[in-house]
Structure 1
Amino acid sequence: SVGAAPHIRYNLWNMNRACSVCNNHLSGNIAGYRPKLIEKIGQNKVDWLESNHSVARHDIPYLKRIKAVFTKKCRRLEARIQCNAA
């Protein structure tokens, strides 16, 4: 979680969706979330996320790239939702 590891807040491997029940009422449902994350990104990356304790110093260009990536993902999702609604 971001509270436990704020230094990986903007790491793309650590940004994954979760249902609102798991996210809001089950503290992220780590027992159900972790196996799916391993399936998605692999054991090595999950181990790295869990053991990384370095201090993050994000520069402005990096944060702008992250914003661009997620803006694009959001637009794709919105377009898919509109296609399904039509």
Structure 2
Amino acid sequence: MLSSADLHLERALFFAVLIIFFGAGFLCTLITFIINFIQKKNKKAVYYLLIFLISGLIGVVLTAFYCYMILFEQAETYRP
């Protein structure tokens, strides 16, 4: 029973990382596209792909750092 529950938790963690990566990447790419469209700057698709990948990675790293701070750093504060 526990092994199947572990698989579901790992799958949920994997999907959460994917959602954070694609969400941050899409949002930053959309904002960059709108700004460049308003300023009438023509950028290539590689530019937007790099923005997507870099912002997605930054989103995942910041989320992992936040979870580390919440789970491990706060636990040391409350030890008796």
The TM-score range, normalised by the shorter chain, is 0.3 to 0.5
Higher RCO, 1 or 2 (CA under 8 Å, sep at least 6)? 2
TM-score, normalization by structure 2: 0.40
Q: Which has the larger radius of gyration?
A: 2
- Give the helix-richer structure, 1 or 2: 2
